[in-house]
A and B are shown apart, each in its own frame.
Chain A
């Protein structure tokens, strides 16, 4: 340790520190109180842990469920999108049909009125 004081003081100081910091006795009856606490609330003192084998099994099951969820979720999403596309196609076809019919009617009325469409 680098210090500003003379070496003999450093050594003496560190020795004094070691003496001053000798371990002190625990309070009277300390062990009894700890043992009593450990017995009075054993449920509180314990962390419930899953057995190792169960933990491995549970991890596998959770992973499988997640995989299945992602896979079937993806499939359902594709199916749903396909259905939406089919409905949209049907609606588009119906709209085109109605437009064609309307145009035909207009064309017929114009021909009846003697207006040439140029075709």
Chain B
């Protein structure tokens, strides 16, 4: 049996930020993110009566949003992995750390260039503030895989941030 309209609307209003943000950060596209988020809530409307508690609903929404957004990303056939290797330089960056405000402004954009597995792990860790073992459980992956994706994702993001911010500083000087 489907959820009643008032309850359904309450659930959407409570969780829409989380679901939409996950979809946006994973797909990297505003329109696709809205489509994915709508589909997630329609699935909740259909199957939500099985979900007993608010925590269960939140967990379910997170999980379905991640899976659907990943599917949408794959359908778009955008392969950021192709560009990933050029950034995986093991040499330490010897420049100065970019300023925090400028860095934040660039990070969301840089996130879109991460390979899918790293992007999902980073989004769940830093947007949803989930622990690696919680992410592993949600994605049905070994904890070691999640930790590796987080480490590599962070390293890649840091390098990209360092390089692009250096260019940014040079351009604006």
Taking beta carbons and an 8 Å cutoff, which residues of A are in contact with B?
A: 1-5, 9, 12-27, 30-31, 33-35, 37-39, 42, 45-47
Q: Are A22 and B127 in contact (CB under 8 A)?
A: yes
Cβ B20 vs Cβ A26 within 8 A: yes
Q: Provided the pairs A12-B97, A18-B126 are in contact, do residues A27 and B154 lie with their beta carbons within 8 angstroms? A: no
B104 x A38 contact (CB < 8 A):
no
Q: Are B127 and A23 in contact (CB under 8 A)?
A: yes
Pair A4/B90 contact, Cβ less than 8 Å:
yes
Interface residues of B, Cβ cutoff 8 Å to A: 2, 5, 8-9, 12-13, 16-21, 24-25, 30, 34, 37-38, 41-42, 45-46, 90-93, 97, 100, 103-105, 107-108, 111, 122-123, 126-127, 129, 150-151, 154-155, 157-158, 161
Q: Are B158 and A13 in contact (CB under 8 A)?
A: yes
A21 close to B108 (CB less than 8 A): yes
B158 proximity list for chain A (CB < 8 A) = 3, 5, 13
Which has the most chain B C-beta neighbours within 10 Å: A5, A16, A22, A30?
Answer: A16
6 nearest A-B pairs in the assembled complex, by CB-CB distance: A4-B92, A20-B107, A26-B16, A23-B21, A26-B20, A21-B127
